Structure 1
Amino acid sequence: MKRARIQDIADAVGVSAAAASFALNGKPGVSEAVRRKVLDAAETMGWQPNVAARSLAGARAGAIGLVIARTTDSFGTENFFLRLIAGIEQSIASRSLSLVLQLVDSVEAEIATYRRWYSEHRVDGVLLVDLRVDDPRPAVLTELSLPAVVIGGPESFGLPHVTISDDAAMRIIVAHLVAQGHTHIAYVSGLSELSHTQSRIDAFEQASAAAGIIADPAYSTDYSAADGSRATIELLIREPRATAVIFDNEVLAIAGLSELADAGLAVPEQMAVVAWEDSPIWLALRPHLTALRRDPTVLGNDGATALLAAIDGEPVQTVAEPVPTLIIRESTGG
């Protein structure tokens, strides 16, 4: 099969070869509509940049990439990602490398970013976060021969991995609530399509069933405060018997606490509350919040260190992070 050229893409879209080149290389001078048409045509035609030409530009880009599919507002309020990035910077600073960060609104946009980075020789490898069920991204990165390490979730997809025991952490939370006498627990989760969310939901249901208690169906959210409020109101209407609720991050927990207060429910007397992420904020609130403590800085450091080894052609083993610790405070009667 004949290799697609930039001129072929330009002819298919109806633009000049120069415009097609600008679009493929992320340079200014073309509209976003034209850029999207060119990128779509390039993907359809199976276009790949000339590897020999790329190698002439230099052996290394001196940077690693991180793409996060979150809105700007969501990213700015999630402490997890800020600390993760701090850990990444800790690892790469000693080698004078840069982190290229991109926020996108979809997996499709994320894949397009990887293809663009590859064509531009912008990064030497990438860190992959928020693994999804049936995720297409690992296959794309393998196709591009772009070194990659997955951070979070269970080990899968054949890429080097920094694993997190989300299932074990959820079992610890459920066991604590059961020990406190709760028999009807609710869970306000994150995005249901994320593999780590699914691991938590499965563990929540299994641990509850093993303890012989009722586990409400998870209330999925997009991690925003507005969606946390919506989910909390929904569970209070649908599950009035619930006496404990688990929130998947600090933003959801704060929104949920506000709705519980508006509903006149005392914490922990009428509703026990657990947050998946620990935060200094919880000690500024009364009651102090029970929360799961882990260190995203370590995740970022370990992930970046593994990626640098992969870029150097060294064998990379899966890194298993310790099971997070449940810090028991007043919101569950501690």
Structure 2
Amino acid sequence: MKNIAQRAGVSESAASFALNGRPGVSEATRDRVRRVAEQLGWRPSAAARALSGEGAATVGLVLARPAETLGVDSFFLQLVSGIQEVLAPRHLGLLLQVVEDTEAECGAYRRWWAEHRVDGVLVVDPRTDDPRPALLDELGLPGVVIGALPESDPGAHHRLSQVRVEDAQAMAAVVGRLHALGHRRIAHVAGLPTLAHTARRIESLTKEAARQGLDAARSVVTDYSDAEGAAATRRVLQEPDPPTAIIYDNDVMAAAGWGAAVGLGRDVPDDVSIVSWEDSAVCRLVQPWLTALSRDAVAFGRTAAEELTALLDGGVARDVTLPLPQLIERGSTAAAPSGT
């Protein structure tokens, strides 16, 4: 700053006002100072801006999931890609941290707020009993929840937007399609039971099964890993009246479930149909290719980042619903076996 001021022939305070867009200097002086700054290759210090209350030029994302499950989850990679599409042109950084649980996640938010590390946060995996919205309210930290909070009033948190997909409607659509194919025994290999979207999918399966008159539809919770997906598949297929169709909460479990079914001597789809909640290249690495719900995870991340930057620009919190995922039918689903 001293070098810029000397070369531009102004005081250091005038150079600071010019570079930070503050009043107190003429436009001619502002332009001259900025030209000198460009010549010297000057860039603003994020740390200094944070300490002076001008913002950190960074947003935060904490993932409170087992690290081993994140390594094979294509959804989060695509989500981050979409987030970066919005942040990069604005020269906003993304601070990413993986932690054990929501308690550690809340601790990260408190540290970031105290240290002025981030201007806002992106919150994933809403919980059925979620302490994070109230904490962000307490801290005054703007945020966007990727997924729907379990609360009935989306406007309860004035600095917290939501970007959601209607999980319940998507599950009802899948169950309805399987019912149309003649399936009466349907299993759902679900993810973590504490997640709000898992609870909504389980509840929707139960309601839609009752509406369709299906007595043998149930959910089995897992940790989203391929190991638990395969183990759950073996358990349900070795029951006296095994399901003729299985819905998996992600692509990795669906592929693992396919392998477990084949290992038990079951044919896909003649003996059991398989549906993946996420569509990815994994669904096209097995034979037959897996039927899957397709949603644009990149667009999910992009929309969430756009909502967060709008909040940082002074906008109001919003509740945004994305289009319903579409069921892409492939070779892993067929009519139920005769006599079931």
TM range (shorter): 0.7 to 0.9
Q: Show CA shifts across 1:183-219 (max 9, x none).
A: 1100000001100001101111111111111343311
Q: Which residue among 91, 112, 116 is the counterpart of 2:111?
A: 116
Q: Distance in 2 between matches of 1:55 and 1:287?
A: 53
Q: Secondary structure at the match of 2:193?
A: coil
Is 2:294 aligned against 1:293? yes
2:91 counterpart residue number: 96
Q: Distance in 1 between matches of 2:242 and 2:135?
A: 46
Q: Secondary structure at the match of 2:96?
A: strand
Contact 1:205-1:215 at 8 Å conserved across structures: no
Q: Which residue among 78, 97, 101 is the counterpart of 1:106?
A: 101
Query: Which ranges of 4 or more aligned residues in structure 1 deviate by more than 4 Å?
Result: 53-56
What runs of 5+ residues in structure 2 fail to find an aligned partner? 1-47, 336-340
Q: Distance in 2 between matches of 1:321 and 1:262?
A: 38
2:219 counterpart residue number: 218
1:87 counterpart residue number: 82
Contact 1:184-1:243 at 8 Å conserved across structures: yes
The residue identity in structure 2 corresponding to 1:235 is V
Contact 1:131-1:196 at 8 Å conserved across structures: yes
Q: Secondary structure at the match of 1:94?
A: helix
Q: Secondary structure at the match of 1:332?
A: coil
| Structure 1 residues 114 and 232, CA gap change in structure 2 (3 angstroms) | same
Select the structure of larger CA radius of gyration.
2
Q: Which residue among 60, 63, 66 is the counterpart of 1:71?
A: 66
Contact 1:204-1:215 at 8 Å conserved across structures: no
Q: How far 1:238 moved relative to its partner?
A: 3.5
Is 2:137 aligned against 1:152? no
Q: Distance in 2 between matches of 1:225 and 1:166?
A: 22
Is 2:151 aligned against 1:128? no
Q: Distance in 2 between matches of 1:115 and 1:247?
A: 35
Q: How far 1:172 moved relative to its partner?
A: 0.9
Q: Distance in 2 between matches of 1:329 and 1:154?
A: 32
Q: How far 1:302 moved relative to its partner?
A: 0.6
Contact 2:236-2:242 at 8 Å conserved across structures: no
Q: Secondary structure at the match of 1:330?
A: coil
Q: Show CA shifts across 1:289-316 (max 9, x none).
A: 1100001111111111111111122123
Is 2:203 aligned against 1:191? no
Number of residues of Structure 1 aligned to a counterpart in Structure 2 = 282
Structure 1 length as normaliser, TM-score? 0.81
Please identify, of 265-274 and 227-236, the stretch whose mean Cα deviation from structure 2 is larger. 227-236
* RMSD of aligned alpha carbons: 1.7
Structure 2 length as normaliser, TM-score? 0.80
Q: Show CA shifts across 1:206-264 (max 9, x none).
A: 11111111343311010111111221122123463311000100111111111101110
Q: Secondary structure at the match of 1:109?
A: helix
Q: How far 1:283 moved relative to its partner?
A: 2.8
What runs of 5+ residues in structure 1 fail to find an aligned partner? 1-52
- Give me the identity figure in percent: 45
Q: How far 1:281 moved relative to its partner?
A: 2.9
Q: Show CA shifts across 1:105-148 (max 9, x none).
A: 11111000001111111100001110001200111111000001
Q: Distance in 2 between matches of 1:259 and 1:54?
A: 54
